[in-house]
Structure formats: C-alpha cells, structure tokens
Chain A
C-alpha cells in the first residue's frame, strides 16, 4: 500500500445522472476526508470519517451528496441528480489518529457534468 487511491480518475456524466466515487485510504489510517476542488481554488472540506463513523459534514454537502465508509476502510461518495455546478475535482485524504494530522491526499477524481 503506497498511498491513497481513488477510482475512477475521470468521470464524465450527463446532468441528472448519479455518480459514485471510491477512495481507498492508507491501510493503517483510521481518519478519512473528502474535499472538493474547483479550478483556481484550494480544496474545500466536504466530510470526515473516524473509522466508520461520519463525524463532520460541511454545509456544502447538500442532500444530493452522501458518503459512506461501511467497514472503516474504503469510502464511497455518491452524488445524485448531478448538476453542472458539481463539476470539480473530488479529493480523498487519510490520516492517522495521532500526530500532526498530516493528511495524505489521493490523486482525485475529476468529474465533468455535461
């Protein structure tokens, strides 16, 4: 396990369709985060898991967005009824529960909604 992986790397979908992204964190990390990054901006926090518990959600996370981490390992982020404004890079990060909260980021999933 060399790092955080995300799948797919790119997703093109039509408006109104549902999409699901997967994140596999570094195996010994029990904290997992989702961020969204639009062009010319820094990552914006979406949600955070400690093991399988979703402990924090941003108000950016509308009811069309749902995230799960059922066994405390990989996580999925689903967007229902996608809108053009959902087009962005979706980043996953993980960190151990001790130390400086260094978050290790995956390469991201680039979503384009047509």
Chain B
C-alpha cells in the first residue's frame, strides 16, 4: 500500500487560504489521490480527488505535482466549519478499488 506523509497540524485564520500538503512518493501510476476530512464526532467526508491534472470543485482545489509524488489541497477561504482532520489517501483502481489507506492526517485549526 502506498504511504502518505502529512503535517500533524496546521493553523489558519478565517477567510484566508489554506494549503494542506501531502507526500505520497510511493503511489502507483493508477492510484487516484483522494482527500477526505473528518469533523469532530463524524465519519470522514469526501472532499476531492484527482489522477494527474489539477481539479476544482465547490469545496476545494487539488494541485497534483507533475511527478505525482505530492499533492496540495487548497481551501480558498477557510471558515470555522473547515476545522477538521484532513486525510490524503491513495485510492487504488482495479482489484484494489475502493481500499482507502489513511495516515495520521493533518489537524486544521481555523481561528476567527
């Protein structure tokens, strides 16, 4: 299974952009990169995913390095509701489809 490395914690002020990095240097060529977040007392929530190109959705943007060994989740304007643990996880295709490998994640604190 591909391993991921993320900062243990990060802090941001409300309304400011947040860049959450993830290193996944052992990712295979067919693994998608998924990001989930987990708010207190809830199950993880899907945020965004991509394979090679940068991706945008209503929640966030995902910037994937050209060599795919790292990616960055971008929250354009952090809100208090964005305070959560953020996980990047390879999502394998083929027979391993759907097996998410979670690391420790990054605890994001958002200050008012």
A and B are interacting partners: no
